Chains A and B, each alone.
Chain A
Amino acid sequence: MTTAPALPELALSRRVFVVALGGAVGGLVLGLRIAPAGAEGQPDSPFAPIHFVKVGKDGVVTIVCSRSEMGQGIRSSLPFVLADELGADFARISIVQGDADARYGDQNTDGSHSVRDFYETMRVAGATARSMLVSAAAARWGVPAERLIVHDHAVHDPATGKKAGFGELAEAAAALPVPDPKSVKLRPDAELVKSKGRLPLVDGPAFVTGKAHYGADTQLPGMLTAVVLRPPVVGGRVKSVDDSKALAVSGVRKVVRLPDWTAPAKFQPLGGVAVVADHTWAAIQGRKALVVEWENGPNASYDSDSYRQSLRAAVNAPGTVIRQVGDVDAALAGAAKVVSAEYHLAHLVHTPMEPPAAVAKVGAKSCEVWAPTQDPQTAQKELATALGLDPSQVTVHVTFLGGGFGRKSKPDFILEAALLSRAVGAPVRVQWTREDDIRHGYYHATGAYRIDAGLDAQQKLVAWRQRVAAPSIGSTFDLKSDRLSGWELQTLNDLPLTAPAVRLESCQAPAHVRIGWMRSVYDINHCFAAQSFIGELAAATGRDPKAVLLDVLGPARTLTAQEVGMKELMNAPKGYTPDVGRLRHVIERVAELSDWDAARRAGKAVGIAGYRGFLTYVAAVVAVSYDAKKQVRIDDVWLVADPGQVANADRVRSQLEGAVVFGLSLALYGKITAKNGAIEQANFDSYPLLRIFEAPRTHIELVASQAPHAGAGEPGVPPVAPALGNAIFALTGRRLREMPFATAMNARA
């Protein structure tokens, strides 16, 4: 691992250009000019460059982080890729959070692709700055640049022992031309700090002292605080309001009706009535005193119990064919044995620890917001549209996110703050309570599955028919969308199956709440069904679940569209062809790490699952036992991931540790239900999350890999629940086909 990876051409030479910026700015300032997708290959294109790194005369290296920090540690990753390549002293790095700005390229922090998209760019930007500092030193000393080296924030000449700090060289470097990116050499990986030890958690000190600035922490002169009473049913409208008691609450300034809602949901606020007050407590008290009559609208009959039955009916009839290989019905009819099962999951909701909150200051021709947003450019665009402004008049400052998980990709709460600021003529902070967050979310989709598998007389898989019914995220944007399609099938689009006959069908499931993406998205559902079912195949044939899993996936190979039975592979950008060998490896490795075979021989209850999602390969083993009260206790979780190369191994590990907890929370407790169109849960008593005393010992291993960077934030979650379900089966003999598990796993027969 001593050679630098070859620069992928597409990452840099066609889309990203490093340019000099500045002049009289007191140092070397490099910008990036990032062509929007589709406008590649035009170095003279009109896209204005934007500042990414500055080496100041004072030696401080300022690096912009254009992606949102929500716990994944991106500020401790991407800027340090640049700093590491540059040879900077990490103590002299200052990180600036980028506002919404299309010149940064994509800022939508979701889908686990920040590092994948920006790693090479950061390396090259760092190497470019380094090369210019080296040229400046070479000119000053009259020596060849090739013999100079850079480390510890200085250029060194090993032949003479001379050294010059970045600060002393910055102005001279700024006067030099920016080298052609193709001539810039990257450091060998072995030279990088990230290869030798842990990168710093740059925001740690701010986090532990209360200084980190989140969505609700902005305080402006004259700022008012609003809480909103939203329609209990999505699409509902205010019929009448009596605000006299609310206005009588001390500290309440105004009551404002928000615009009514029109389908489809998109990112618009839900409407309702806002109480605007001097501070949060008055606003909350004022809201309690509102008397509102609602017109509940077309979703008023949404009922999770009956919807569950309709999903079940849907998967018991044919749906839209997504994948097809061979004749699955004939293969099932001719099988020696058919195994069938149905699965169900409830809706889930994100519940980041920081409920949505945002501050807006709207003027006649301006809007400035401070918001914990995962997608600042979408917020900017939506604000401009809602306020009738040009996007250039809208400034979006990105605060720390107290968790995002997909909730904070949706700017509805930011729009509320802006509409209210305009309505009252003052800066407004909108504060969602936990009840607001749980009752008015963009919900993770409930879903149902039916899987039928055929086995031949030798117990070999000969047919796999899988049907899924779940409301689509597409429905939030397009009323015609009534089932999963395209990317929403996620890992099912290329689940490797050795069966010669395979069919995947997507069945009807109209949406009645706002459906949104949540960490790992539909893979939570898909992986639960498929991996639980593989456990069922093992039980039906009396075989080792790990062996059956490997047999179902088949031998090491790369997948083709033809093999999976689709026109094209969905999860296979260039360089990321699905590789069953890598998937088998994480499964085999997690089995070794958890001592799978010995544990089973010793009668311990273990469950396994393995999966590819977000271009990463992950396998999990969960071990459970009975506690003293004969309740199921989760003892250990082992997770092995192959995400390719990693920018910051410690942050990848912490994401996977967190994924275990996230996965266990939803597996044990995750259940959002609707009755008469309204969500029944409200706070952490009715929507529990895993607590520290339930958190198992967690063992994480990353596969050392030179494959290109893949996702880290999301892929750890999906295998956890099915591995737990499989372990519970091993312990109790009870197959749990419905999440959450908490009640059923301890039920007495």
Chain B
Amino acid sequence: MAKLKLHVNGVDHAIEADPDMPLLWALRDLLGLTGTKFGCGEALCGACTVHLDGMAVRSCQTPVSAAAKQKITTIEGLSAHGDHPLQKAWCDLGVPQCGYCQPGQIMSAAALLSAKPKPTDTEIDTALGGNICRCGCYQRIREAVHVAAGQSPKGGAR
């Protein structure tokens, strides 16, 4: 067990945990931040995606000790009022079906838009290739990323 400090969504938290505990379980079970989802535990599905210093990572394969020195952002901290352009586009285009994978999809997409503000279909497919949606919302996800980037739903200028 180790005493660790986590900086999550702008707030410092002191926790005591096995340093190998995945960040996912520290967020969910120790801090009660349940917006980050468990899907596979093996970094195969992306449901648990969060940002470490702005980079999208799979929290199920990130030891909590490795995240302790960085700025952690979860879906709860992506925007103050749920009004990040991706969140708005997701609602406007009716992207979610069951919704479970969407926090991870949105966190992956947010990291993409930070790096590439006007992504192509291929860049979206690459950045979100690690995020599985069993309901099959992929086409609307692609369109919503374009819309959030200020492009037409099919990509390119409006």
Which residues does A use to contact B, with CB under 8 Å?
69-73, 198, 201, 203-214, 216-217, 219, 225, 250-251, 279-282, 284-285, 351-355, 400-405, 431, 433-435, 650-651, 654-655, 657-662, 665, 683-685, 689-693, 695, 697-698
Tell me, in angstroms, the Cα distance from A209 to B91 when the chains sit together. Answer: 11
Tell me, in angstroms, the Cα distance from A279 to B22 when the chains sit together. Answer: 12
Q: Which of B65-117 contact A (CB under 8 A)?
A: 74-76, 78, 82, 86-87, 90-91, 94-103, 106
**Interchain CB contact under 8 A, A70 and B98:** yes
**Interchain CB contact under 8 A, B34 and A219:** yes
Tell me, in angstroms, the Cα distance from A684 to B141 when the chains sit together. Answer: 21
Return B51 CB to nearest CB of chain A, in Å. Answer: 13
**Interchain CB contact under 8 A, A403 and B100:** yes
**Interchain CB contact under 8 A, B41 and A433:** yes
**Interchain CB contact under 8 A, B44 and A219:** no
**Interchain CB contact under 8 A, A434 and B41:** yes
Assess whether B156 is interfacial by the CB under 8 Å rule: no
Tell me, in angstroms, the Cα distance from A207 to B32 when the chains sit together. Answer: 17
| Nearest A-chain residue to B79, judged by Cβ | A209
Q: Which of B9-38 contact A (CB under 8 A)?
A: 17-18, 21-22, 25, 28-30, 32-38
Tell me, in angstroms, the Cα distance from A401 to B135 when the chains sit together. Answer: 12
**Interchain CB contact under 8 A, A216 and B98:** no
Tell me, in angstroms, the Cα distance from A695 to B136 when the chains sit together. Answer: 9
User: What are 9 contact pairs spanning A and B, CB under 8 A?
Assistant: A71-B96, A204-B91, A214-B37, A216-B38, A353-B133, A354-B37, A400-B100, A402-B100, A403-B135
Q: Contacts A208-B87, A657-B139, A692-B131: A71 and B1 contacting too (C-beta < 8 A)?
A: no
| Nearest A-chain residue to B44, judged by Cβ | A684
Q: Contacts A198-B94, A353-B98, A654-B140: A689 and B134 contacting too (C-beta < 8 A)?
A: yes
Return A183 CB to nearest CB of chain B, in Å. Answer: 37
**Interchain CB contact under 8 A, B129 and A205:** no
Q: Which residues on the A side are within 8 Å of B57 (C-beta)?
A: none
Assess whether B150 is interfacial by the CB under 8 Å rule: no
**Interchain CB contact under 8 A, B39 and A355:** yes
Assess whether B55 is interfacial by the CB under 8 Å rule: no
**Interchain CB contact under 8 A, B90 and A207:** yes
- Contact among B97, B102, B124, B134 with A73 in the assembled complex (CB-CB below 8 Å): B97
**Interchain CB contact under 8 A, B42 and A250:** no
Assess whether B52 is interfacial by the CB under 8 Å rule: no
**Interchain CB contact under 8 A, A402 and B136:** no
Q: Which residues on the A side are within 8 Å of B40 (C-beta)?
A: 434, 683-684
Q: Which residues on the B side are within 8 Å of A403 (C-beta)?
A: 98, 100, 134-135
Q: Which residues on the A side are within 8 Å of B101 (C-beta)?
A: 353, 402
| Nearest B-chain residue to A438, judged by Cβ | B40
Knowing that A204-B91, A279-B25 touch, tell me 17 more A-B residue pairs with CB under 8 angstroms.
Answer: A71-B96, A204-B96, A205-B82, A206-B99, A207-B96, A208-B99, A352-B134, A354-B100, A400-B98, A403-B134, A434-B45, A657-B140, A658-B136, A662-B136, A684-B45, A692-B131, A692-B138
- Contact among A213, A683, A695 with B139 in the assembled complex (CB-CB below 8 Å): A695
Tell me, in angstroms, the Cα distance from A93 to B137 when the chains sit together. Answer: 26
Tell me, in angstroms, the Cα distance from A690 to B100 when the chains sit together. Answer: 17
Which residues does B use to contact A, with CB under 8 Å?
1, 17-18, 21-22, 25, 28-30, 32-42, 44-45, 47, 74-76, 78, 82, 86-87, 90-91, 94-103, 106, 124-126, 128-142
| Nearest A-chain residue to B81, judged by Cβ | A209
| Nearest B-chain residue to A204, judged by Cβ | B91
Tell me, in angstroms, the Cα distance from A206 to B34 when the chains sit together. Answer: 12
Return A209 CB to nearest CB of chain B, in Å. Answer: 4
Tell me, in angstroms, the Cα distance from A603 to B17 when the chains sit together. Answer: 62
- Contact among A210, A433, A695 with B76 in the assembled complex (CB-CB below 8 Å): A210
Return A72 CB to nearest CB of chain B, in Å. Answer: 7
Tell me, in angstroms, the Cα distance from A354 to B40 when the chains sit together. Answer: 9
**Interchain CB contact under 8 A, B126 and A431:** no
Tell me, in angstroms, the Cα distance from A259 to B14 when the chains sit together. Answer: 40
**Interchain CB contact under 8 A, A692 and B129:** yes
**Interchain CB contact under 8 A, B91 and A208:** yes
Q: Contacts A353-B37, A355-B38, A660-B136: A201 and B44 contacting too (C-beta < 8 A)?
A: no
| Nearest A-chain residue to B88, judged by Cβ | A208
- Contact among B78, B126, B128, B136 with A661 in the assembled complex (CB-CB below 8 Å): B136
Q: Which residues on the A side are within 8 Å of B125 (C-beta)?
A: 692-693
Q: Contacts A353-B101, A657-B139: A201 and B25 contacting too (C-beta < 8 A)?
A: no
Tell me, in angstroms, the Cα distance from A280 to B1 when the chains sit together. Answer: 15
Return A653 CB to nearest CB of chain B, in Å. Answer: 9
| Nearest B-chain residue to A201, judged by Cβ | B94
- Contact among A209, A217, A281, A695 with B22 in the assembled complex (CB-CB below 8 Å): A281
Q: Which residues on the B side are within 8 Å of A404 (C-beta)?
A: 98
Q: Which 7 A-B pairs have the closest CB atoms?
A: A210-B35, A661-B136, A402-B100, A71-B98, A207-B99, A71-B97, A658-B136
Tell me, in angstroms, the Cα distance from A709 to B1 when the chains sit together. Answer: 58
**Interchain CB contact under 8 A, B129 and A684:** no
**Interchain CB contact under 8 A, A209 and B38:** no
| Nearest B-chain residue to A697, judged by Cβ | B139
**Interchain CB contact under 8 A, A280 and B94:** no
Q: Which residues on the B side are within 8 Å of A209 (C-beta)?
A: 35, 75-76, 78, 82, 87
Q: Contacts A353-B98, A434-B39, A693-B125: A208 and B82 contacting too (C-beta < 8 A)?
A: yes
**Interchain CB contact under 8 A, B37 and A402:** yes
Tell me, in angstroms, the Cα distance from A405 to B25 when the chains sit together. Answer: 26
